[in-house]
Amino acid sequence: MDKKDGQYSKKEISYYWIIFLGLVLHILAEVVFIYAKVPVLIHYNLFSIALFIVLLTKAKNNKEITALVGFIEVTIYCIVSTTIMGWGYGFQNWLIVVVVLALTVPFSARRKFYMLAIIMALTYLVLYFAKGLEGNINKLTFLDIFLILANRVGLFILLFFSEKALGWSNIIENFFLQNEVKKMKEIVGTDELTGLINRHKMNLILEDMNKSIGKDNSIFYIAFADLDDFKYINDTYGHDVGDKILILIANVLKQEFRNDDVVARWGGEEFLILLRNERDDMGQLDSSKVMSILNRVRIKIENMKMKYKEHNIGVTMTFGSVGSKNYKSVADMINDADAQMYEGKRTGKNKVVVL
């Protein structure tokens, strides 16, 4: 099983990368300001770079304050840059981008971001009349002013209205919430030490398997696996070494079983494995094929050594397994698989017993 059951693949939305992009853009702007020989912007932009570096260190744990400070800085940056360089260089256009970002923050306390978005929209309009129309404002007719206001004010009104009508911020907030819920479910269902699913999660999976047992022709197998003489390892080398061995064993089990199989840490040094349905390379499962699969894993574990000080510590594992063909409940399968595993222990350990 290469991936943990239930692992979600969507990446978490993070302001880290937005702040990182802002930092990169400020660094590029610094090169431009140095080339253009604009001392005020050179020095101010150095402050911006330093601020964004600080924000970058806070972005993952303090998203709300990081976003707010970043948006405020960009607003000031646009005002200073547009005032000094002029409207034609386009610094003011970043205000539109940040208005959209401010309107769609996934935070419950959005009032301050809405107020900031309004301030940025008004700032854009003021800059346009002060710098964009510099020298030409006296030549404007009433129609000119009306169209200028209608287009630019209309743009921001549409942005604000769209956010309210479409609920962008609610959608993003719900996405955040769903991710947090998925994280919590994953934590609850995952063994902290090995990263395998835990007994609770495996029981839920087995409950689903119990509903289909005996109802179709697909055969699945349940196997118990237990490390041999694990108490001796803990007593001899310490529990830290024991934990490292459990992690190594878990990694072997993850690698050796398919995505459709499920491996769980059942408790202590004991693991439960669910082998499901047909194998692409082996066809329908039967006892001989399960014996072959489990023996391959057993041999790999037997050949594995862990270096500890001057010692090369080796471990072995005993497996017991049963198939669903002659069973009416998963609970009975678990009991018999456990019994087969203990039969393997009784008759010499480091072996596979399949009923």
pTM of the model: 0.50
pLDDT tens digits, the chain, 355 residues: what are they? 433 333 333 333 467 888 898 999 999 999 999 999 999 999 999 999 999 999 999 887 888 899 899 999 999 999 999 999 989 888 999 999 888 888 888 777 778 988 998 999 999 989 988 888 876 767 777 777 777 777 777 777 777 776 666 565 565 556 555 665 565 555 567 888 998 999 988 998 898 888 878 776 678 999 999 999 999 999 999 999 999 999 999 999 999 988 789 999 998 899 999 998 666 566 678 899 999 999 999 999 999 888 888 888 999 999 999 998 888 899 999 999 999 999 999 999 999 999 8
Report the pLDDT value the prediction gives residue 11, as an integer from 0 to 100.
Answer: 38
Distance CA 8, CA 137 (A): 56
Same domain, 203 and 176: no
Same domain, 25 and 90: yes
33 in a structural domain: yes
Q: Domain span at residue 216?
A: 199-354
Same domain, 110 and 205: no
4 in a structural domain: no
Same domain, 78 and 175: yes
Same domain, 342 and 236: yes
The domain that holds 238 is classified in CATH as: 3.30.70.270
Report the pLDDT value the prediction gives residue 157, as an integer from 0 to 100.
Answer: 79
Same domain, 26 and 75: yes
The residues, ordered by sequence, that sit 6+ positions from 341 with a Cβ below 8 Å of its Cβ are 223, 224, 225, 226, 318, 319, 320, 353
Report the pLDDT value the prediction gives residue 7, as an integer from 0 to 100.
Answer: 35
The residues, ordered by sequence, that sit 6+ positions from 47 with a Cβ below 8 Å of its Cβ are none
25 in a structural domain: yes
- Number of Cα atoms under 13 Å in the Cβ half of residue 20: 7
SS3 123: helix
Same domain, 164 and 35: yes
Number of domains in the chain: 2
30 in a structural domain: yes
Same domain, 276 and 313: yes
Distance CA 119, CA 104 (A): 16
162 in a structural domain: yes
Same domain, 114 and 261: no
Same domain, 154 and 269: no
Same domain, 309 and 349: yes
Report the pLDDT value the prediction gives residue 264, as an integer from 0 to 100.
Answer: 94
Distance CA 29, CA 157 (A): 30
285 in a structural domain: yes
Structure token digits, residue 133: 């129309």
CA-based max dimension of the chain: 102
117 in a structural domain: yes
Distance CA 217, CA 324 (A): 10
193 in a structural domain: no
Same domain, 169 and 223: no
* Boundary-marking domain end, from 122, 154, 184: 184
